[in-house]
Amino acid sequence: MLRRYKRDYGTIVGFETKAVIQLTGSNCALAVPELMRLLVTVETSRGKRRGTSRETCFAYTSTAVSKESLETWPVYMMTQVLPRHMEIIYEINQNHLDDIRARFGKPR
């Protein structure tokens, strides 16, 4: 998607306004950190991080949200197999926690 967008528009700027990635179920959970890895590591976008792409490009649908239907991986295994993805996942989580604290304050 990024290669085709860049071919058509010459840049990745504005990608989030033209692309929507529909995620279904739990087997596609790595799509978000993979897009972030591509945007930050491969397509550095002139050194600026493109967090808005992650927030606006993905839509999620799941009809089965039971614990048994969700795929899980141990953190140590993910860290060994996909260390850059784990860094991005931690960063996304930290940004989310910072946003929650900014909106609602620190928990008591």
pLDDT tens for the chain, residues 1 to 108:
888 998 999 988 888 888 888 888 767 878 889 998 888 876 664 444 445 455 678 888 876 667 776 778 899 999 999 999 999 999 989 999 999 999 998 766
> How far apart are the C-alpha atoms of 88 and 36, rounded to whole Å?
7
Structure confidence at residue 48 (pLDDT): 47
Contact 54, 19 (CB under 8 A): no
Which pTM does this prediction carry?
Answer: 0.75
Could you give the number of structural domains in the chain?
A: 1
Q: Which domain holds residue 25?
A: 2-104
Q: Nearest 5°: CA angle at 81, between 21 and 30? A: 15
